[in-house]
Amino acid sequence: KSPETEFTYTERDVALYNIGVGAKATELKYVFEGHEDFQVLPTYGVIPQFDAEMPFSFDEVVPNFSPTMLLHGEQYLEVRRYPIPTAARTKNYGRLIEVVDKGSAAVLRSGVTTVDAETGTELFYNEATVFLRGCGGFGGQKKPADRGAATAPNTPPGRLPDVVVESRTDEDQAAIYRLSGDYNPLHIDPGFAKMGGFKKPILHGLCSMGVAAKAVYERFGPFRNIKVRFAGVVLPGQTLVTEMWRGEGSSRVVFQTKVKETGKLAISGGGAELVDPAGDKEKG
């Protein structure tokens, strides 16, 4: 049975999260609780999982676990209810899904369901994979199971993207983002980052995901689910370029995000299923 953990958030947490993924002071609906359309960006749904108790410890399921060698590999989020409350008391249920043996690394997938504690309504469902460097070679399964939208490759079509959005992150982006709930020292402590093999603290994968998803949301509207793979490291201050493809008559958006300064992929295999199959803010 999954352990049950409470997680409560307020309008202050909502504004802090929105700023953490790039909302500006002028975007009042994201930063001012008195605005008539005050709202939380849908990827806030990834936050309650950080407080969820898991029915396992890394040391129990992989060899040689070291926190400095952990990287976020992929994230899948389902938003089970719109509008998302801008304050709520939630209950969270965490479970282990699978551990894949990649030879030198292990890829561990866990799931968390978030329920509104007052109404019992499901708000979010998450699947997170962490890439555990140095933890493979234990003789486990070599490939992840097919889990539908959660594992879809979302390969972009071979044409230019339909929409491109540039978002400059701030030098202080990770310092702000972490206050939403991911306190991993990798993103703030230079010594810890060095032990993990990085010259300086790197940006949270979920911060990049939030930035990319904000671009998808603002152009195409709310999504039922969203999936990303963290393909490369981002440093706070770099500019993220999100390229989006919208299939004709399709409710899916495929996207990827590059680091402008290097041209390298930060997010690959991005996919989102829209609530409104015709949703496109530019086309009305």
Choose between 163 and 231: whose C-beta lies nearer to ligand HDC.
231
Phi, psi for 273 (deg, rounded to 5): -100, 120
Catalytic annotation on 182? yes
Name the strands in the sheet holding 4-9, side by side, starting at the edge strand that comes first in the sequence: 4-9, 88-101, 105-116, 122-133, 70-79, 223-230, 265-274, 252-259, 239-246, 163-168
Is residue 53 a contact partner of residue 5, using CB atoms and an 8 Å limit?
A: yes
Of the pair 240, 274, the CB lying nearest ligand HDC is at 240
Which residue has its beta carbon closest to ligand HDC? 73
Find the catalytic residue in 19, 84, 202, 226: 202
* Among 17-25, 32-40, 122-130, 218-226, the segment contacting ligand HDC (CB under 6 A): 122-130
- Record the tokens describing residue 167, joined without a space: 């978002």
Tokens of 54: 């898991």
* Binding of residue 233 to ligand HDC (CB under 6 A): yes
CB 90 within 8 A of CB 7: yes
Q: Which residue from 14, 47, 108, 128 is in contact with ligand HDC, where contact means CB under 6 A?
A: 128
Question: Shortest approach of ligand HDC to residue 3 CB, angstroms?
Answer: 13
Determine if 134 is a binding residue for ligand HDC (CB under 6 A). no
Q: For this structure, is 72 an active site residue?
A: no
Counting contacts by CB under 6 A, is residue 38 touching ligand HDC? no
Backbone φ and ψ for 91, nearest 5 degrees, come out as -115, 140
Number of Cβ atoms within 10 Å of the Cβ of 31: 17
Question: Which residues participate in catalysis according to the annotation?
Answer: 182, 187, 202, 205
Binding interface with ligand HDC (CB under 6 A):
49-50, 71-74, 102, 107, 128-131, 143, 182, 184, 186, 202, 204-205, 229-233
